[in-house]
Structure 1
Amino acid sequence: MVGNPFRPVTFSPEWRTDTAAAVAAGMYESRDFAAMPILADALQDAGCDSADVLDHCRGPGPHVRGCWVVDLVLGKE
């Protein structure tokens, strides 16, 4: 799943904290994306102010492996 190609999101490396990476990696490995709102909180705590990123994480989904936010956090861009 990719984000909107007409509105690319800039992802700051500072948002890729140990906590955010651990949450994203756990979801990626387990294929259980119920923790997306927790990832949003971790990213916000790290200084993320991107409405696109935070709204996606807190949105209803469906969220799946290949999610553009999880891939950005894991450095899979």
Structure 2
Amino acid sequence: MLVLARKLNESIVIGDDIVVKVISIDKGVVKLGIDAPKSISIMRNELLEDVKDSNIASSKEVSLDDVSLLRSLIKK
């Protein structure tokens, strides 16, 4: 992991077309602005973790009845 120190209004460039800029710093909270092509997905890590946890929980909720129903539908 590369760790960089930046001050207010300073930026870093990732690749040719992604710019991360420090927009504000207030009471220990840093706000970043990210300028990137629309084809690049940008998401907060905690949201990704929530989705992953939800998917794991959903997969555990599948019962044998659900599997049996799925098998009968596949046969048709």
Larger radius of gyration: 2
Q: TM-score range by the shorter chain?
A: under 0.3
For normalisation by structure 1, the TM-score amounts to 0.24
For normalisation by structure 2, the TM-score amounts to 0.24
